[in-house]
Structure 1
Amino acid sequence: MTAPHWLRQPEILKLLNLLIDKLDKSQLQGKTSINSLKLDKRTFPALFNAAFEADKENYWSQLQQLQTWGWLNIKTDKVQAGKAGYELNPRLLIADEAALRQVTARPEPIKSAQQLWREAIFEFLTIDETLRESIANQKLEITGKTAVEIVERLNLLPTLVDEPLLLREVSARLFWGHSKVLDNRQALIAAILDVEECPFPEAPIQLQVFLPEGDFTGVLYIENLVCFEQATRDVSGRFAGLALVFASGFKGSAKRLRLKTGASVYFAGHGSLSIQSSQRFLSWLFDANETLPCWFWGDLDYSGMQILKSLRHSFKDIEAWQPGYQPMLEALLAGHGHTPEEAGKVNQKPINNTGSTYADRELLIAIKKHRKFVDQER
């Protein structure tokens, strides 16, 4: 096609360059399309400031010709009798990027690795759109692999959540045997899975276990280390007959707690170290050849309730420990709790249930009603 002379007019080229500017800026931000360009005195002064109506009609016909060629799409408000198209709030959309770049001599800029990553995230990552922006700022690179190939592998991440895998095992499983790709990328994983913390630990979970003298009749998981240490030295009898457990490195997936490859057990020196008691605990934990009542006690907040819910995947009968939670519940009901903002817990996600009768019928209801939390260490 022989280009008409008006296509080289400064006024037309300025408008087309404005469209390309808008497109380049949009692509730099990782977007694959642009919003329409509103035509007005600022964007196309040649038309809107023309002294004669004939000149306005001429410019408008040129835009219509660009639309006929398939280069642009023109959008206007509803047709009104007696009004020209340029009087109906006209907007332009790019229809043929290549044609506009050719006529303006504006080739597509070479995209940086960050731009390619953003584009791959927004186009190919199958997660909620509201989560993509944060992930787009956490670029992964693997020699010989494109951003699209990496993102497509990230789409498989949710299928691994229920497997007792360490972080490097997950990386190797996803990324062609490369085990270190996800090192220090826990925030990226948590964002993709839309959870508070990455569920894959860097190393086996460390279980600190205090065994009472004599037989233990139940097991109590304690969320916070300070409370665990206090409980192991308690002389009131409150924890009598309980094996006390603190899980260091627990990140929300309890399945590995019952695997010898997923958890390392260390017995407290100031508790019972009898071979019989320690073997009984290990047999209960890893071999599940004995049924023992099991409880969890942690912060009275959504994060604590989520841990309880996660523990029930491997300890199906575990319950919230009422002797520990009841005083905390009473404090909450008496107005002594703190808001999520006061405690720096605004990012905790509400949950509807844990599977524990006491937690669901009393603790969660109180948290939701009062919108406050109580720390275990209070």
Structure 2
Amino acid sequence: MTTPIWLKDEPWLAKWLGWFLDKLDNRDGEPSQRAITRRIKKSTLPALYDFNEDTQGRWQLLQHIAREHRIFEIVLDNKRSAFQEPYENAQCRLNPDCEALLREWLNRPQQDPLAQAWQQAINEHAATFTDNGEALLNQKPQIPGLTPAEIVSAFASVEPYLNQNLTLREIAARCFNGDSKTLDNRFELLLKLYRDNANGIQPRPLLLTAWAPPGFTKLLIVENQDSFLRLVENPPEDYALLYSGGFRASATRLSSEHTRFAFLPGSDPKRFKQRWLDKRTQCYFWGDLDFAGMGILKALRNSLPNLQAWQPGYQPMLEILNTGGGHTPQQTGKTAQTDPGTTGCPYTDTILLPALRQHGKSVDQEAIHIQ
């Protein structure tokens, strides 16, 4: 159905009908049992009180809409005096079943209340953002417990902290109710909101624990803490040891100036810093024999392209798999792990990964003790 011709010719009527849609839109998506009504008075519908016009024709048109299209019901006021117009103080009660028809007549599609809330919140803070808040409107980041208005306000409050030599987590804690992790993985969003100003955020240092005996020539990165400390107690000859703490050491900032090391007693920090990123240093990784561990190895090779799986650690774990040992992903909550495909390490790609795929089981590195 298209908009009736007579509605296009009667702007006063479109305004009157639009008022009912305004009321519907202002309900913020919440259903209401209360009917939407409006009484006809000179203040609400002055077109029926402009007696230089055809007010009777206009009144008949209102009645026609109520009778033929059932947009609303008209209830006359029985208490009006005899000299008053019949429509004086009459009540128009909107028929909710006709909302779609009314929206089509007025070309006003139903608005998403949530989208409206985001737009309103961004409009209030648009001047704060370099992109006027467009990135927030496109992404609409969800933060549990916060409304769109609170989320936008929090992102707007970031601006004063951008050039105070603070890290992302320090800024997040100040702007998001003390939650330091809210802005994790949202730096790209801040770049869109604040452009070059976001580059004032200080990179968070990567803190790694190392044991580097004097004269070492090789480096072994160990995934888990217990295995790392056992190796420190009984170290393999000629190795420095680095505790990676899962994926922490696979971050792109691993080889950056922001990496920090905590050295255990007996270490030679100077030699370690000279040799650990030297391409001539033989580098190895030892972690859990599962897809996640192989994924860490693959990620670490982005910073250490010569990195290889440490066979003295993986070989006894492989033997456990090949003799029927190990645990299934369901037993240890590893069902979300994904096969990394290839890592670039020949031993991993031709021996370890095929074994994992064949047996469908894993072995954590704490299961063995290197003598």
TM-score of the superposed pair, with normalisation by structure 2: 0.53
Residue 361 of structure 2 is aligned to residue 366 of structure 1:
no
| Unaligned segments of structure 2, at least 5 residues | 1-9, 32-67, 72-96, 123-133, 160-164, 189-200
Instruction: Note the alpha carbon deviations across 1:315-343, whole angstroms, 9 max, x for none.
Output: 11001111111222232233322222321
Distance 1:110 1:296, change over 3 A: closer
Query: How far apart are 1:295 and its partner, in Å?
Result: 0.3
Distance 1:374 1:110, change over 3 A: closer
Match of 1:137 in 2: 144
Residue 274 of structure 2 is aligned to residue 283 of structure 1:
yes
Residue 285 of structure 2 is aligned to residue 296 of structure 1:
yes
Report the Cα distance in structure 2 between the residues aligned to 1:291 and 1:283, rounded to whole angstroms.
11
2:138 aligned to which of 124, 149, 161: 124
Query: How far apart are 1:223 and its partner, in Å?
Result: 0.8
Match of 1:206 in 2: 207
Q: Check the 8 A contact 2:212/2:241 in 1, yes or no.
A: yes
Query: How far apart are 1:67 and its partner, in Å?
Result: 6.6
Query: How far apart are 1:203 and its partner, in Å?
Result: 5.6
* Structure 2 residue identity aligned to 1:295: Y
- SS of 2:209 mapped into structure 1: strand
Report the Cα distance in structure 2 between the residues aligned to 1:233 and 1:300, rounded to whole angstroms.
22
Match of 2:219 in 1: 219
Report the Cα distance in structure 2 between the residues aligned to 1:109 and 1:314, rounded to whole angstroms.
43
Match of 1:96 in 2: 109
Match of 2:228 in 1: 228
Distance 1:169 1:21, change over 3 A: closer
Residue 29 of structure 2 is aligned to residue 24 of structure 1:
yes
Match of 2:90 in 1: none
Query: How far apart are 1:373 and its partner, in Å?
Result: 2.1
Query: How far apart are 1:147 and its partner, in Å?
Result: 7.3
Q: Check the 8 A contact 1:220/1:243 in 2, yes or no.
A: yes
Q: Check the 8 A contact 2:220/2:241 in 1, yes or no.
A: yes
* Structure 1 residue identity aligned to 2:311: Q
Q: Check the 8 A contact 1:217/1:241 in 2, yes or no.
A: yes
Report the Cα distance in structure 2 between the residues aligned to 1:334 and 1:201, rounded to whole angstroms.
50
Match of 1:333 in 2: 322
Distance 1:142 1:24, change over 3 A: closer
How much is the aligned-residue C-alpha RMSD, in angstroms? 5.2
Q: Check the 8 A contact 2:224/2:245 in 1, yes or no.
A: no
Match of 1:69 in 2: 105
Report the Cα distance in structure 2 between the residues aligned to 1:252 and 1:142, rounded to whole angstroms.
37
Query: How far apart are 1:224 and its partner, in Å?
Result: 0.8
Instruction: Note the alpha carbon deviations across 1:278-297, whole angstroms, 9 max, x for none.
Output: 432221136x3x61110000
- SS of 1:265 mapped into structure 2: strand
2:242 aligned to which of 236, 240, 245: 245
Q: Check the 8 A contact 2:287/2:293 in 1, yes or no.
A: yes
Report the Cα distance in structure 2 between the residues aligned to 1:209 and 1:366, rounded to whole angstroms.
31
Instruction: Return the index of the structure with the highest Cα Rg.
Output: 2
Report the Cα distance in structure 1 between the residues aligned to 2:239 and 2:114, rounded to whole angstroms.
66
| Unaligned segments of structure 1, at least 5 residues | 8-12, 27-56, 72-94, 99-107, 127-131, 154-166, 194-199
Query: How far apart are 1:222 and its partner, in Å?
Result: 0.6
Instruction: Note the alpha carbon deviations across 1:227-274, whole angstroms, 9 max, x for none.
Output: 011112227xxx2221122135852544433345321231x33xx44x
TM-score of the superposed pair, with normalisation by structure 1: 0.52
Query: How far apart are 1:201 and its partner, in Å?
Result: 11
Report the Cα distance in structure 2 between the residues aligned to 1:241 and 1:280, rounded to whole angstroms.
13
Match of 1:169 in 2: 167
Aligned residue-pair number: 265
Report the Cα distance in structure 2 between the residues aligned to 1:3 and 1:336, rounded to whole angstroms.
80
Report the Cα distance in structure 2 between the residues aligned to 1:348 and 1:22, rounded to whole angstroms.
45
Instruction: Note the alpha carbon deviations across 1:212-234, whole angstroms, 9 max, x for none.
Output: 4x632311011111101111222
* Structure 2 residue identity aligned to 1:137: P
Query: How far apart are 1:350 and its partner, in Å?
Result: 3.7
Q: Check the 8 A contact 1:121/1:136 in 2, yes or no.
A: no
Match of 1:32 in 2: none
Distance 1:216 1:369, change over 3 A: same
